[in-house]
A = this chain, B = another copy of it.
Amino acid sequence: MLSKSQIKLITSLKQKKYRQQHGFFVVEGIKTINELLNSNFVLHTLYTTDSFNINAINEVIISNSDLKRISFLTSPNKALAIFKTPKAKNIDESGLIVALDSISDPGNLGTIIRLCDWFGVKELVCSKETVDCYNPKVIQATMGSIARVNVNYVDLAQFLKASNLPVYGAFMEGESVYLKTTLEDGIIVMGNEANGVSKEIESLISEKISIPRFGDFQATESLNVATAAAVLLSEFKRR
């Protein structure tokens, strides 16, 4: 049985304001919860309809209807956990870094975190305008990869100015990434879904790169930012 205050706490965590105030975030689904339990993340409470086969001290068994009340999903997935929001580690500037300039869609951010994990990118640097990585929709889309990618929110312009790494940026009019003979470890900047890379950040980019369009139709929209990130990470890593 859930108390009113438990329900109130959980539902408040949908909002960034309350996530920051409480220092907690919500994770749903057994698979992702297990990945976080097996990482450095610290569990606050695990609400589940069936006991997990692990030493979860803070486990509370609840009914399906209680889970439905607290879940952010249309089809709740057996368990919901509250974790403590970790403090991001300092940015390690060795290896490839992905930087996001105001990504606003939670699904895109989650997919990019999952991509970073797949392609061995350990550092994701986000402008302060980028959607919060502890947003439940982001967490859902990361499929557990949030446990393995270090996400920092910074003043992106200052970060780029302070770094000595080459700064690549994804632009419609950039040089074809396929024609680049060398792609060094550095920072790859991906811009906002609607507006691309902002003017201020653009001035800090050393190499503009693009993914050529093969379709005949000039009307074709740019690629979705997460699929563009997939292609670029593939190009940086396959060489």
Contacts and interface: CB of A to CB of B under 8 A. Distances in A.
Nearest to A31: B221
A213 B121 CA distance: 11
A148 B220 contact: yes
A43 interface: no
A35 interface: yes
What does DSSP make chain A's interface, helix, strand, loop or mixed? helix
B224 A211 contact: no
Interface in A5-53: 35, 38
Interface string A109-131: 00100110111100000000000
B211 A234 contact: yes
A82 interface: no
Nearest to A96: B214
Interface residues of A, number: 37
Interface in A188-236: 211, 213-217, 219-221, 223-224, 226-231, 234-235
A230 to B, nearest CB: 4
Contacts of A213: 118, 120
B224 A117 contact: no
Contacts of A234: 211, 231, 234-235
Interface of A: 35, 38, 107, 111, 114-115, 117-120, 141, 143-145, 148, 178, 211, 213-217, 219-221, 223-224, 226-231, 234-235, 237-238
